[in-house]
Each structure stands twice: as structure tokens, then as C-alpha cells.
Amino acid sequence: MSLHRDLLVEIGTEELPPKALKKLMDAFSNGITTGLTQAGLEYGAVHPYATPRRLALHITALSTAQPDRAVERRGPALNAAFDDNGLPTKATQGFARSCGVEVEQLEKLETDKGAWLVFRSMQVGRATTELLPAIIEQSLAALPIPKRMRWGSSRVEFVRPVHWVVLLFGDDVVDAEILGVRAGRETRGHRFHHPASLYLAEPAAYAPLLQTEGRVMPDFAARREAIRAQVIEAAVTFGGTAVIDDALLDEVTALVEWPVALTGQFEKRFLDVPQEALISTMKGNQKYFHAVDKSGKLLPYFITISNIESRDPDKVREGNERVIRPRFTDAAFFWEQDCKHPLLSRLEKLKTVVFEEKLGTLYDKTMRIKHLAGTITEILGDALFFKGAKENAERAAELCKCDLLTSMVSEFPELQGIMGRYYAKRDGKDSQVAQAIEEHYLPRHAGDALPQSIPGKIVAIADRLDTLAGIFAIGQPPSGDKDPYALRRAALGTLRIIIESTPKLDLDLQKLLITAVANLPDTLKKDSAAPQVFDFMMERLRAYYHEQGIRPDVFEAVLANRPPRPADFNQRIHAVTAFRALPEAESLAAANKRIRNILNKTSETVPDTVNEALLSERAEHDLFRKITELHRDITGLFERGNYEGAMKLLASLREPVDTFFDKVMVMAEDNALRANRLALLKKLGDLMNHVADISKLAAA
């Protein structure tokens, strides 16, 4: 008899939520394999499957039973196991009874730590078929399902009603009831192409049988690639290039079992509408793929993926064209109506929209953004490289929220900013102003693109800092996983814009936060808001560098100096990272830690200057001379922001520092000598810690 068999599990349901299907498939697979591993069962390849109507898993070469394992139970210590007459104590007798044996059958275990009575036995492994139902149920119970449902009179709960269950181990059905359904060996094909049951002789027959007879492509990844290929090929037929969004591709893959691509057409007059609006309704409402020409302009075609191979595809095509037409007609109407009024005319109406009760209206927020944007441009000054930067930034700030009151954005909220750019261009605004209106929402999420225009960067920073300052001032910072105002994203977005921008944005975050807080209503308690937001943003900066692979001790070393400029902070991070790789770094970090400890422990007042006349040891003279020499060279590098060069020069301190600690008694009995040596250490520490507190660097 084979010691390994293939396993097939399939849960057949009504249509599963498409946006969650892939996550459910992965969680189902991981849950079962984790359960098998915990049970000590070996297995081979794992093949997860998912379609709108099923979650399935095919595992090859699964052990038919757990391995037998030796079990050792430790009983009383040997010196307490028997009385003076050599008879077993009550504890020994009770231990033997609990093991189901006589005292004479117990063995002795002797170790360096003592001796004990033990009971050794061989535990026979359970059959896999006994373990499978519980493992599967546990996996299903742990699926990431926000809200489960019941159906009929059953008390069973799942994401969707369950209609059939397949559970095969080898060529045998495992006797089990899963989610209230008795397991069998019959699966079901496509709802329309093959609604009848399909008999499964063995697990390996599952995917081929569904594909050939059932007209179902059960493999999610293979179905996804088939759809991608069909969409690309369909676009070629009308001379276009398909634009395939991965999230849409995943969703469409989760909507169909037998994908068939069909092309449709719409009237060219709709191309007068901003293409983002058309694309948004095609993707969001209809799950269509769009195509563009060589210049990236939208073509009047779409590609839809049908879940059926129709005998009359033209009727299916006509139906899709008929559905999209009224949506495009609405978009065209909204565009025409919105264009009748300049964007600026909506600024006053923002007074009717509350941003947050204690922080006022969107108009109030807009004016705060405008003021802060003006402040930022004044700080950056000549670094902006073009005239009119302040006017452009302030005008973009003034207009940045106006498109929220347009009909188009009301219908398509995801177009906020994008439509503002179109309306600003139509009103004849400067191209950088129009661009900034769209860009101030960037980055929208982790890894998203950053604003490219200077006004876009400035308004994006001003908007986020106003939100951060305001929400902290009203006492609603993020708590746990709750972050209703997306403050973590706002903080990280601000930091990314400042750090990753070219040219560098040399902005003092602490000063900007003080300005942002000062702009808030005087009715708020604002005293602690700026430092709280700064600390919050430093924690987001910690996460930012962690994702980049920067060591935590490097971050802590720089953070200890509290540099308020994120761009400067970033330069220090990379300088300390480079320094840490030097062979001298570990020794100097240890010396720095020693200096810190000596200075912290002394209760004496340490002089600010070193009296060269009191240097009595050669090692003192050498260290003082080296510090003086380096101070001159390093100061220039510090002033130019060349932290990496400065940190490399510090490496030359290793030998004189090591010699000093080997040869010199810092805490000398002579008061003047001791104070002078402490002053020398203080001078050394200040030089070493100018960029970062290198005492915080951990050993490699």
C-alpha cells in the first residue's frame, strides 16, 4: 500500500466576491498546508484553484498517516520516588497509574541536572483521513471574511452559500461533512456550458476534466494570463494598444470561469470628454479594458471579457455598447455643464462644505493651504529656479479643492484633482497651476508617483501638514489600526516628497508645523500639536527607512540628534550607513559609548575648552592634535552638507582614541588634570556626534 496519496479539496459555492477571490484562494491554501505541517504530515506540490464558484486545492504526495513518534513523560525525581524502604511513594504510584503501567515498567533518566523516573512509549500516528476534516474546517474558519452569511435553515456560516464539496484522498472519498455539506467526488462545470455534475476518479483528473469537459479554467493564474493575452490580441484588431490595469485584471479573472474577449465601440463624439472620465466608467462600472493609439490617446473601442462562448457574439457586443452609451452621455453632460462656470467661481461655495466641525469648512482649509504654500515658497526662495513660483503655488492652492463641487467629480470622486487640471486649463490658467491641482493629491498610496512640478510639491506638502496639524490639535491622532483621516499616509507622503525631490527641498519640518498650527482656529488648544506631529512623522520616517533596508541602529543614531530637515536627515542616514561599513566604526562607536558614560556619571562641571598646557601624557597631546586638525577639516564638510566625507574622516580617530584610553587615566586624582581630560573627551564626543550619535550603533 502506498504511503502517499494526492489530496483534492473543492468547496463549490454561489458566486464569490470578485475583489476578495485571490486573497481567499491564498488563505485557503495556506491554512490547509499550515494545518498539515502542524500535524506532521509531509506533502509535495501544492496547486490552489479559484473561480467565481469554487475554491479548491490539489496537493500531491500527501502522507497517508502521521509518523509514529517516541513520547517521553517525566515523573518524580528519583530521590523522591521511593521511601527509605525502597517502596514507591504515592507520587510514583500516581504517575505510573496515569501512564497506564506498573511502577516496574518505568525507566530512569539521568542527566547533569538530576535523575527522574520516566515513561517512554511509542505514539502511533493518526491516519490522514481522520485529520483532514478538522484541518479543512479550521482553514475555512480562518479565511479573511469580514461578514459571513447563513442560508436556508442551516446554522452554518460562510462567505457565500455552499452547494457541493469534493474531498478525495487518492481515489477514495473522505467521509466528512464540510460547511454542512456531505463530501463527495462530483464537481460541477460551467453554469451554462456544462451545468451537469462531473465524476472525479482521482485528484489529478480535476483540472484537466474541468478544462476539457466542464468548460472551466480553474487555475486563477492561468486564467488571468489567458485574459491578458486575449485583451492584447483584441486591441490589435482595431490598431490599438490595450491598457491593462493589474487590479482590474484580477477582478475580471475572478468574475469569469471561461473567458472570451469581445470588442465594442462607442461614438467618437464622446472623445471630447476628458478621457479619464470615460476610462473611469469603463473600468469601474463595466469592467472593460480600454485601448490607446501610439500617442497614448484613447480610442473609441473597449474590450470586455464574457463568461460564455456565445452563439451570437454580436448580440453580446451590442448589449455592452448599449449599456455604456448612457454612462458616457452622462459624463458628456457633466463636462458641458461644469465648463459653463470657471473653476474659481466655486471657491466661495466651499464655505458651505464642512471639512471638520472644529477646523471649519473646506474654504477655511483652502485658505490655510494657500498661506502655508506661500510660506514654503518664500523659504525655498532661489531654489525654485523660476519666477512667479509663489503666485503659481498660491493660485494652485486656492483652486485645489474647487473641483470637488463639480458635477463630474460628484459622479466620479476618483477624478478629484484630475478634473481640476482640465477645468484650470480650460480657464486659461498657467500649465504649472493646472498640473499642481492634480498633483497635490500625490502620492495617493504607498509606492505611488510623487508630484513633479514645484507648485504641485508645495501644495501637496501644505495640504498634508494642515491636515496633520489640525487633526492632532483637535485630539484625534491615529489609534491602533484606526486612522480615519489617513494621517499615516499623509505623513509618509510629505516626507517622501521632501526627501525624494530633485532639486532638494531644504525645509525645516518643525518650523513648518509651527506655522501650520498657528494658522488653525484660536479656539483650539494648539500648544502641543506641533511637537506631537513632528514625533509622529519621525515614527513614519522610521518605517520608511526600514522598508529601504536601513538598519534600526543607524536610524536611532541619526534620530538622537533630532535633525528637523527631512532632506538633511536623509543625508545623515546614508552617511552613517557608509560609516558603519568601515572597519574603524565598531571601535569608535564603543569609544563614544564609553565617553558618554564617563561624562554622564561625573557630577563635576566640565570646562568648555581644553587647556593645552595641562596635557601631560603623549597620548593626550596626540588626541588633542588630531581633534584640532579634524575639527578644521570636518567643519567645512559639515557646512557643505558633505556628511559622508566628514564621517569617513572620523575613521582616522580610531588609533589615537584607542591609545588614549589605553594609556591615560581620565579620572585622575588631580582636579585640574581630571577636568581637562573630561573637557578633551567632551570635545571629542561633540566632534564624533555632530552627524549622529554613533554610540547607538550596534556591533556588526
**Short-list 558, 574, 597, 617, CA closest to 681:** 597
Ranges of the chain whose pLDDT falls below 70: 1-2, 382-387, 700
pLDDT of residue 110: 83
Quote the CA–CA distance of 240 and 618 in Å, as a whole number: 80
Q: How far apart are CA 328 and CA 266, in angstroms?
A: 9
Cross-strand bridge partners of residue 184: 166
583-696 CATH = 1.10.730.10
Residue where the block lists cell 513614519 = 540
Give the three cell numbers for residue 237: 484588431
pLDDT tens, position by position, 39-85: 999 999 999 999 999 999 999 999 999 888 777 888 888 888 888 88
Distance CA 461, CA 467 (A): 10
- CA distances (Å), 224 to each of 143, 245, 248, in order? 22, 12, 11
φ, ψ of residue 647 to 5 degrees: the values are -65, -35
Q: Which of 163, 167, 201, 159 is CA-nearest to residue 181?
A: 163
Residue 550 to residue 424: CA distance in whole angstroms:
42
Q: What is the CA radius of gyration of the chain?
A: 36
Q: How far apart are CA 539 and CA 483, in angstroms?
A: 15
What is the domain partition of the chain in residue ranges? 4-66+127-212, 69-123, 222-338, 346-549, 583-696
Compute CA distances 254 → 206, 263, 310, 378, 536, whole Å: 19, 20, 20, 52, 39
**Burial classification of residue 39, based on how many CB atoms lie within 10 Å of its CB (0-12 exposed, 13-18 middle, 19 or more buried):** middle
3-state secondary structure of 212: helix
pLDDT, position 137:
95
**Range 346-549: architecture per CATH:** Orthogonal Bundle (1.10)
pLDDT recorded at residue 700: 61
Phi-psi domain of 167 (left: phi exceeds 0; alpha: psi -120 through 50; beta: other): beta
For 39, 63, 64, 122, 589, the CA distances from 68, given in Å and listed in that order, are 12, 12, 12, 7, 53
Measuring CA to CA, which residue among 83, 68, 84, 99 is closest to residue 107?
99
CB count in 10 Å sphere of residue 28 = 23
Task: Write the CB contacts of 670 (distance below 8 Å, at least 6 apart in sequence).
Answer: none
Place of cell 457633466: 334
Q: Name the helix (H) or strand (E) containing 243.
A: strand 241-243
Provide the pLDDT for residue 502. 85
Query: Which pLDDT value is given to residue 385?
Result: 57
- Contacting residues for 122 by C-beta, under 8 A, at least 6 apart: 68, 69, 70, 71
Contact 625, 615 (CB under 8 A): no
- Closest C-alpha to 492, from 558, 566, 384, 552: 566
> What contacts 664, CB < 8 A, 6 or more positions away?
617, 619, 620, 677
CA distance 286 to 455: 36
Amino acid at 56: A
pTM, entire model: 0.82
| Continuous segment of H or E residues that includes residue 58 | strand 54-63
Residues in the chain: 700
- With residue 471 as reference, give the H or E element that holds it: helix 454-473
